Amino acid sequence: MSSDADTAAYLLNIGTLLYETFGLFIIVVSTIGNICNCFVFLCIRSLNKHPNALFVIGSSIGSLLFINIGLFSSIISVFSGFNPSNRWLFWCKISTWLYYSAGCCSFMCICFSAFGQCLLTLPKIKWQRLITRIRAQLMILFTAIIWLIIFLPLSIFSNQIQISATTSTCTVTVPIISVYAAYWVIIGYYFLPIILLLILFCLTWYNLKQLLRRRRNLESAMTRMMLIQMSVILISGIPASICIIYSLATKYSTKTYLRLVYESVIFLAFVLFTFFTNGISFWIYLFVSKTFRKHIKDFISKSKLFKNRLAPLSTLTTKINVPH
């Protein structure tokens, strides 16, 4: 019995270490990457010509909320012992609602972007122009509204439960709502995005082979970047979805404390990996695509910041060269 207790304590320490190191690393890397994604696809004309840029921006905003809300409270709790979700009822309700909604919206925007890239690899121009900027904006808006409505019961029924005289925890107080949310998580986080991305991955891969025989341009480069991002998300999403399904299937099974600890640590590792892969799209684009790096480099070199630095020198040279 003491050996099981020692093993459980060791595993819990591993979970805490994961939050302290990998969790903090994910927040820093994903926050920088998602902000850079929004800036790059908003400001660089060559990258925001196609409406797909709006899906990338929507996915980045959703990912920013999803990752920071999901990890913020836990990491603060690990470092300081203070958990905002367990202390403030307002944050408990809003964070739970926004966390699930933003996550599903982010994954659906990735699917929309993959769909847009698949259309770009088709030979007919009318199919390539099927998604316009207005349609893209409406797709993102309706998706966000739908997921906010779906997960609204979490905000209503989330509450703080007093564990002891000094501590409380944020949880859903109605069991049926908890099950309802779990099934929608499977659909919105894992099942629907994985199925769609897998289908679009195969179609885009086939179309890309035909496309590269005819021409090479920015669109084909962006498609290759999206293929790599889709493959990374698929690799991380499948194990996490299996864990979720297993957890629901064995929800009412009798488990030892050690087994529960094993399952929680394994699930934590998969969830953190899902956070990581959802927040690194900018870094994938940056390291994989030479064209993407070139456009960012050209934009930086032509920015007003550098022009303003060169302006005083030009003015001074002009004044010196003026004859008296």
pLDDT tens string 255-302: 788 888 888 888 888 888 888 888 888 888 888 777 788 888 888 887
What is the predicted pLDDT for the residue at 162? Answer: 65
CB distance 225 to 293 below 8 Å? no
Dihedrals φ, ψ of 129, to 5°?
A: -100, 15
What does the DSSP 8-state code read for residue 188?
Answer: I
How many whole angstroms separate alpha carbon 265 and alpha carbon 229?
Answer: 26
What residue type is 32 in one-letter code? I
Note if the pTM is more than 0.75. yes
What is the predicted pLDDT for the residue at 150? Answer: 93
End-to-end CA distance of the chain: 97
What is the predicted pLDDT for the residue at 58? Answer: 92
Of 37, 58, 167, the residue nearest 107 (C-alpha): 58
What is the predicted pLDDT for the residue at 149? Answer: 94
> Tokens representing 265?
């640590």
Pairing status of strand 168-172 against strand 158-162: antiparallel
Q: Say yes or no to pLDDT of 324 above 50.
A: no
For tokens 């905002």, what's the residue?
Answer: 84
| b/e sequence 227-262, b meaning 16+ C-beta within 10 Å | bebbbbbeebbebbbebbeeeeeeeeeeeeeeeebe
81 phi-psi bin (left φ>0, alpha ψ -120 to 50, beta other)? left
What is the predicted pLDDT for the residue at 220? Answer: 52
Candidate from 82-91, 210-219, 277-286, 300-309 with smallest mean pLDDT:
210-219
Q: Say yes or no to pLDDT of 27 above 70.
A: yes
What is the predicted pLDDT for the residue at 234? Answer: 67
What is the predicted pLDDT for the residue at 127? Answer: 78
Q: Under 8 Å CB-to-CB from 206, ≥6 apart: which residues?
A: none
For tokens 């070139």, what's the residue?
Answer: 294
What is the predicted pLDDT for the residue at 319? Answer: 43
As a whole number, mean pLDDT of residues 31-54 equals 87
Q: Say yes or no to pLDDT of 232 above 50.
A: yes
Domain annotation for the chain: domains and CATH numbers: 1-162+170-299 (1.20.1070.10)
CB distance 101 to 148 below 8 Å? yes
pLDDT > 90 in the chain, percent: 12
185 phi-psi bin (left φ>0, alpha ψ -120 to 50, beta other)? alpha
What is the predicted pLDDT for the residue at 316? Answer: 40
> Tokens representing 6?
């020692």
Per-residue H/E/C for 220-245:
HHHHHHHHHHHHHHHHHHHHHHHHHH
**C-beta neighbour count of 122 within 10 angstroms:** 16
What is the predicted pLDDT for the residue at 134? Answer: 92
